């Protein structure tokens, strides 16, 4: 699209705080010769790897020609100034597309799922939901060579000791021949494949689902689904039990006792007047559940059981676990939450985010690819438009902004 307001845009964007993560200037100044420093660091890692069972021959073969990619440090040091509210997070992660795709994938991989869920005693829809959230069912793997990213993070920036462990794990994966080096691409932090395992997680939990003798989480859907099932199984999944369910709190409910970890017998919650949102009875028992209030007592509320903690173990964030759990329910035909979130400006699905980006591009904003992912450029453009429309310029993609831009084409 041709730009319609470049001078204004340029002027305003210079005045706004830059949302892009910047290279840590201290690191940049310190590393006048990062290649030399990297080479020295690799020598140390060679000894570390040897002590952990990676032969120096393998190390030399796998790291030959390896150079650092300092751009990954931007992500390491990036502190998002913008925390997405839970309703934005769920609106894009559990949208109509991902539910429809999940239903199709569950049907397509029914035999594979049946085997994995029988072997590991895990709910098939939850396996599919992890896949859907982690890589959009195999569409988004990340494009960074793992050894380059993890080698860099092992030698520069914070958390070098953690990342050097992952670097050595990556060498072990490649040395075993499970995955070819040129195929091992992933996120900036080293998560890779259909279900975005970290290398150390791969070594602990990846399994061969299709029986070809290799654990290939990049190229084999059966391997990835079986490995996810194994992850949930080892995390303590109790098949046949729910992750939890939405509940309705009585008027004037005292929410001082809440939280995933503060588990109480169901009889405690029924005694306080908590009831299921779907109208089914809560059978009072000793089963322990915590009261999850992602947006406080005014928003959707949930009683969560042990299986919720197992999902949480995949990526330690309650909003993440709720997205997986809810997506699994929706794939099984469940409905959206009954109690609305406490906002008058709901979040956008990925389809709506792409529409918003298209409208922003049409107004001349250089937002890059229309991909439904609201990054720094899109957020900056949103701020400019919010300012123009007299809205709070917080960079948030919401329904109100989308409606205004539709009306102002
Ligand atoms: Ca395999």
The sign of the CA dihedral 221, 224, 230, 233 is: negative
d(C-alpha 106, C-alpha 87), whole Å? 26
Residue 292, classed as helix, strand or coil, is strand
List the structure tokens of 387.
Answer: 């300012």
Ligand 1 mean position, distance from CA 257 (Å): 46
Ligand 1 centroid from CA 228, angstroms: 13
Distance 314 CA to ligand 1 centre (A): 22
Would you list the DSSP string of 136-160?
Answer: TTTT----EEHHHHHHHHHHSSS-H
Q: Is the pLDDT of residue 77 over 90?
A: no
- At residue 26, does pLDDT exceed 90? no
Cα–ligand 1 centroid distance for 308 (angstroms): 28
SS3 192: strand
Q: What is the pLDDT of residue 21?
A: 40
pLDDT digits (tens, 9 = 90+) for 88-108: 999 999 999 999 999 999 999
What per-residue confidence (pLDDT) applies to 15? 30
**Which of 8-12, 41-45, 183-187, 357-361 shows the lowest mean pLDDT across its residues?**
8-12
Confidence (pLDDT) at 23 = 43
Given pLDDT bands bounded at 50, 70 and 90, which one contains residue 12? very low
Q: What is the pLDDT of residues 365-409, one digit of tens each?
A: 999 999 999 988 999 999 999 999 999 999 999 999 999 999 987
Residue with tokens 């259909």: 194
Residue pair 86/294 in contact by the 8 Å Cβ criterion:
yes
Which percentage of the chain shows pLDDT scores above 90? Answer: 85
Predicted pLDDT at 408: 81
388 CA to middle of ligand 1, Å? 54
**Cα–ligand 1 centroid distance for 208 (angstroms):** 4
Measured in angstroms, how far is the CA atom of residue 203 from the centroid of ligand 1?
Answer: 14
The pLDDT value recorded for residue 284 is 79
pLDDT for position 81 = 57
Looking at residues 101-129, what average pLDDT do you find?
97
Q: What token pair was written down for 274?
A: 């908590």
Rounded to two decimals, the pTM is: 0.89
Q: What percent of the chain has pLDDT over 70?
A: 91
Check pLDDT > 70 for residue 20: no
Alpha-carbon torsion (104, 108, 114, 116), positive or negative: negative
Give bridge partners of residue 276 from the DSSP assignment.
247
CA of 267 to the centre of ligand 1 (A): 46
**Largest Cα–Cα distance of the chain, in whole Å?**
68
Cα(221) to ligand 1 centroid in Å equals 9
Residue closest to 383 by CA, chosen among 18, 110, 3, 5:
18
Region 186-198: mean pLDDT is: 96
Determine contact, residues 34/68, Cβ cutoff 8 Å.
yes
pLDDT tens digits for range 336-368: 999 999 999 999 999 999 999 999 999 999 999
State the distance from the centre of ligand 1 to the C-alpha of 210, rounded, in angstroms.
Answer: 5
Residue 115 Cα to ligand 1 midpoint, Å, equals: 14
Q: What is the band of 32 on the pLDDT scale with cuts at 50, 70, 90?
A: low
Distance CA 169, CA 184 (A): 13
| Mean pLDDT confidence for 63-70 | 96
The DSSP secondary-structure symbol of 340 reads: P
Q: For 258-310, what is each residue's pLDDT tens digit?
A: 999 999 999 999 999 999 999 999 987 888 999 999 999 999 999 999 999 99
Q: What is the pLDDT of residues 39-59, one digit of tens each?
A: 999 999 999 999 999 999 999
Q: Ligand 1 centroid vs 152 CA: distance in angstroms? A: 29
pLDDT of residue 409: 73
**For 18, which DSSP code?**
P
CA–centroid distance, 217 to ligand 1, in Å, is 8
Contacts of 79 (CB under 8 A, 6+ apart): none
- The whole-chain average pLDDT of the chain stands at 90
Q: How far is the CA of 8 from the centre of ligand 1 (A)?
A: 55
165/29: higher pLDDT: 165
What token pair was written down for 392?
């709070």
For ligand 1, the distance from its centroid to the CA atom of residue 327, given in whole angstroms, is 27
**C-alpha 116 to ligand 1 mean position (Å):** 13
Gap between the Cα atoms of 405 and 226, Å rounded: 45
pLDDT digit string, tens, across residues 311-325: 999 888 999 999 999
């Amino acid at each position: 699209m041709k730009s319609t307001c470049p001078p204004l845009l340029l002027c305003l964007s210079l005045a706004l705080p830059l949302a892009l993560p910047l290279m840590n200037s201290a690191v940049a100044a310190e590393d006048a010769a990062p290649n030399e420093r990297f080479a020295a660091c690799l020598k140390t890692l060679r000894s570390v790897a040897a002590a952990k069972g990676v032969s120096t021959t393998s190390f030399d073969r796998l790291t030959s020609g390896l150079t650092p990619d300092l751009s990954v440090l931007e992500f390491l040091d990036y502190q998002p100034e913008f925390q997405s509210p839970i309703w934005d997070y769920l609106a894009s992660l559990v949208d109509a597309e991902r539910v429809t795709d999940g239903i199709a994938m569950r049907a397509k991989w029914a035999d594979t799922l049946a085997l994995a869920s029988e072997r590991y005693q895990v709910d098939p829809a939850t396996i599919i939901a992890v896949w859907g959230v982690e890589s959009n069912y195999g569409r988004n793997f990340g494009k960074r060579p793992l050894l380059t990213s993890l080698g860099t993070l092992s030698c520069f920036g914070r958390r070098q000791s953690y990342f050097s462990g992952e670097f050595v794990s990556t060498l072990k994966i490649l040395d075993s021949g499970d995955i070819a080096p040129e195929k091992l691409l992933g996120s900036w932090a080293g998560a890779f494949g259909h279900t975005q395992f970290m290398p150390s997680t791969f070594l602990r939990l990846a399994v061969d689902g299709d029986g070809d003798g290799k654990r290939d989480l990049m190229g084999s859907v059966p391997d990835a689904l079986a490995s996810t099932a194994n992850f949930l199984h080892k995390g303590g999944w109790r098949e046949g039990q729910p992750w939890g369910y939405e509940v309705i709190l009585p008027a004037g409910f005292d929410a001082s006792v809440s939280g995933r970890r503060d588990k109480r017998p169901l009889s405690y919650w029924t005694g306080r007047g908590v009831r299921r949102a779907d109208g089914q009875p809560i059978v009072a028992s000793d089963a322990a559940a915590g009261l999850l209030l992602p947006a406080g007592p005014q928003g959707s509320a949930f009683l969560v059981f042990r299986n919720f903690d197992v999902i949480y173990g995949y990526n330690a964030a309650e909003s993440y676990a709720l997205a997986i759990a809810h997506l699994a329910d929706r794939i099984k035909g469940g409905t959206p939450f009954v109690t609305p979130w406490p906002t008058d400006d709901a979040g956008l699905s990925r389809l709506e985010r792409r529409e918003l980006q298209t409208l922003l591009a049409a107004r001349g904003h250089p937002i890059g690819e229309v991909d439904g992912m609201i990054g720094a450029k899109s957020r900056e453009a949103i701020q400019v438009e919010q300012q123009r429309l007299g809205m709070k310029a917080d960079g948030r993609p919401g329904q109100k902004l989308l409606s205004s831009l539709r009306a102002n084409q």
